[in-house]
Amino acid sequence: MINRDSYISQIRPFINQTELIKVIVGVRRSGKSIMLELIKKELMASGIEPEQFISINFEDMTYSSLTNAEALHDHLKKRIDDIKGRVYLFLDEIQEVSDWEKCVNSLRVNSDVDIYITGSNAKMLSGEYATLLSGRYVEFSIYPFSFSEYCEARNAAGEKLGIGEYFTQYVKYGGLPFLATAPFDENAKMQYLKDIYASVVIKDIVKRNNLRDIDLLERIMAYAIANIGRTFSASSIASYLKSEKRPASVDTIINYLAACEKAFLFYKINRMDLQGKEILKINEKYYLSDHGLRQALYGNNTRDIELILENIVCLEMLRRGYKISIGKNGDKEIDLVCDKNGKRIYIQVCYMLASDKTAEREFGAYVGVADNYPKYVLSMDEFDFSRDGIIHMNIRDFLLDSAI
């Protein structure tokens, strides 16, 4: 089990804050269940006895009779009353329980219980939940393994390779925790990724949003997956679908993409006019929660290496807590504008600075950006091409530098 310290350090201050429900969200198989085990480990290290834990995973058919609020509440209340001292409650994939928020809020109010829940769909965080539990929960987003965590996992699995070889694996297979630690061959890895994708589509997108036109959903998703890191709009997808003799309205496309976002499959990044300081509502970018899914479904991760590298860097900055936008700088575009706590970092991502033209394009994107925030150009080049105050780094080095 990899100690995901960056997440534990976020959660630690809220342990034993019983007035707040700890909500852990992320795409399926990103490691949410592992986080619950790490929290238990943290609690036991502080002297809490395992007998004080109650754990339920709602993907386990053993608990199929508890998938409504009343039945779950009655079951948990009896168990809580039989335990001396504070109870630590761990409810995994809580979205499987109808009206779960009523049960959880009642236990929070009436019992000495510290509550941790996980979910794979942001729809569970809306509607009545938002009203009933407003101000009474704190949310943590969990992502698949970073490159640093991937290296740690492969080493822990007994594989001793160089950073370059690990990065080649990471580009192709992504960072889903189980895949990073399992001794699978190529075919098994691809099958695992396809199965995870199918699970997300059926359980967290189609079922949760009552979508009926699955063929249309798959076409929209295929377009977005093929074009991760490229700006496009719902109108451009509509035009593509029309050319494929499969017309769909812009509103329908927007709703289907929103359903994918709620399942944490895609992250939508808006464009920002750096000169006018306004958010632009057209031509966003979408990034995949795990680029390994693209390899399994679409292939060509290595052929489309620039898109994959940008996806990797974007997810890394999301992990580090940055709010991200695409920077419109006149007629130029800056790939990632990353903001956190008044700090800003600009990032350009490319594969190689193989020609003067490429270098001018990447470094030239910053012309006219007059502030003194750090500006990076990231590529796979081994040599340092920094110039004019703009920092050039190898992408692997950037990903492994926790100080950024």
Give the type of residue at 284.
E
Cα dihedral 234, 236, 242, 246 sign: negative
The single-letter code of the amino acid at 166 is Y
Q: Which two tokens stand for residue 296?
A: 């399994």
Note the CATH number of domain 304-404. 3.40.1350
Q: What does the pLDDT read at residue 48?
A: 97
Task: Note whether 372 and 379 are within 8 A (CB).
Answer: no
CATH: 3.10.110.10, 3.40.50.300, 3.40.1350.10, 3.40.50.1360. Which one for 5-141?
3.40.50.300
* pLDDT in the model for residue 125: 66
pLDDT of residue 124: 75
Q: What is the pTM of this model?
A: 0.94
Mean pLDDT of the chain: 93
The answer to whether residue 126 scores a pLDDT higher than 70 is: no
Within the chain, which residue ranges are assigned CATH 3.40.1350? Answer: 304-404
* Comma-separated ranges of CATH 3.40.50.300 domains in the chain: 5-141
What pLDDT, on a 0 to 100 scale, did the predictor assign at position 184? 81
pLDDT at 185 over 80: yes
Per-residue pLDDT tens for 71-107?
A: 999 999 999 999 999 999 999 999 999 989 999 999 9
CA gap 398, 299 in Å, rounded: 26
